[in-house]
A and B are shown apart, each in its own frame.
Chain A
Amino acid sequence: KQEVTQIPAALSVPEGENLVLNCSFTDSAIYNLQWFRQDPGKGLTSLLLIQSSQREQTSGRLNASLDKSSGRSTLYIAASQPGDSATYLCAVQNSGGSNYKLTFGKGTLLTVNP
C-alpha cells in the first residue's frame, strides 16, 4: 500500500528566504508525482507534475525534483513571498494495479511573513 509522508508539517519563514519542502513515498513503482497548492478552504491547484522518467521540473520560482529509487521528492521555492503562504500537497500516482488514483500526503502548511 502506497504511503506518502510530508515533512515538515508546518513551516514559517521570513519573506525572501529560499525553502525546501520534502515528500517521501513507500512504493517506488509510480507513474508520476505531482505537487499541489491549496489555499484555506479551497480546491487544489496543480503546481508541477513530474513523470517517473524525469528528474525535475521547473516553473518560475518553483523547482521540483524526483528520486524515484529512494522514494523522495523535494519542492524548492526561491525568494519566497507572502502570497506563497498556503498548504502544499504532494501526491503520487502508482503505475501498478491501483493506477487510477492519487495518494496524497497530509501537506506542509507554509507561512511567509512580510
Chain B
Amino acid sequence: ETGVTQSPTHLIKTRGQQVTLRCSSQSGHNTVSWYQQALGQGPQFIFQYYREEENGRGNFPPRFSGLQFPNYSSELNVNALELDDSALYLCASSSGGAGADTQYFGPGTRLTVL
C-alpha cells in the first residue's frame, strides 16, 4: 500500500509569483485535506476535497485554491505569493469525507518566498 506523497519537496519562489503543489493520496482514499504549518506553529487547515468537490475551507484568502482529480490526487495553487506564505504545506488523505477516520499525512512541501 502506497502512502501519501507530495511534490516537490522544496520550492523557492519570489513575491508575486504563483506556485502549484501536488499530493497523491493513499490507495483507497477519496478525501484530501491541505494544511499550512508556519515555523513553530501547529498546522492550520486550508481546505478539504471530497470526490473532486471542495468540502470545507479554513480562513485563507481566495488566492489559495485547489483541485482534486478523478484519481483523488490533488493540487494546491497559491497566486500572488507573499512572504508570509513561507511554510511547510502538508497534505493528508482519508476515506469517507467529513467526520471520517484517521487522516494520513504526507512528508510536506517546504515553500520559501523571497
Q: Do A and B bind each other?
A: yes
Please determine whether B58 and A99 come into contact, CB atoms closer than 8 angstroms.
no
Return the contact of A102 from the options B43, B50, B110 (Cβ within 8 A). B43
Is residue B88 contacting chain A, with contact meaning CB distance below 8 A?
yes
Is residue A4 contacting chain B, with contact meaning CB distance below 8 A?
yes
Please determine whether B105 and A100 come into contact, CB atoms closer than 8 angstroms.
no
Binary contact track A78-114/B, C-beta < 8 Å → 1, others 0: 0000000000010101010011111111110000000
Return the contact of B110 from the options A4, A31, A41 (Cβ within 8 A). A41
A36 to B92, CA, bound (A): 13
Please determine whether A44 and B45 come into contact, CB atoms closer than 8 angstroms.
no
Return the contact of B41 from the options A36, A46, A100, A106 (Cβ within 8 A). A106
- Count of inter-chain pairs, beta carbons less than 8 A: 64
Please determine whether A101 and B90 come into contact, CB atoms closer than 8 angstroms.
no
Binary contact track B17-34/A, C-beta < 8 Å → 1, others 0: 000000000000000010
Distance between A76 CB and nearest chain B CB, rounded to angstroms: 21
With A41-B88, A99-B98: A4-B42 Cβ-Cβ less than 8 Å: yes
Number of interface residues of A (CB under 8 A): 25
With A31-B99, A100-B56: A43-B42 Cβ-Cβ less than 8 Å: no
Is residue A42 contacting chain B, with contact meaning CB distance below 8 A?
yes
With A43-B108, A106-B40: A100-B33 Cβ-Cβ less than 8 Å: yes
Please, which residues of chain B bring their CB within 8 A of the CB of A99?
Answer: 98-99
Taking CB as reference atom, which chain A residue is nearest B58? A101
Please determine whether B98 and A103 come into contact, CB atoms closer than 8 angstroms.
no
Please determine whether A106 and B98 come into contact, CB atoms closer than 8 angstroms.
no
Please, which residues of chain A bring their CB within 8 A of the CB of B90?
Answer: 43-44
Is residue B55 contacting chain A, with contact meaning CB distance below 8 A?
yes
Please determine whether A100 and B98 come into contact, CB atoms closer than 8 angstroms.
yes
Return the contact of B99 from the options A36, A93, A103 (Cβ within 8 A). A93
Q: Which of A23-79 contact B (CB under 8 A)?
A: 31, 34, 36, 41-46, 49
With A31-B99, A41-B88: A102-B45 Cβ-Cβ less than 8 Å: yes
**9 pairs, A vs B, C-beta closer than 8 Å:** A4-B42, A41-B108, A43-B6, A46-B105, A89-B43, A98-B56, A100-B97, A102-B103, A104-B42
The 4 closest A-B pairs by CB, nearest first: A104-B42, A100-B56, A100-B98, A101-B45
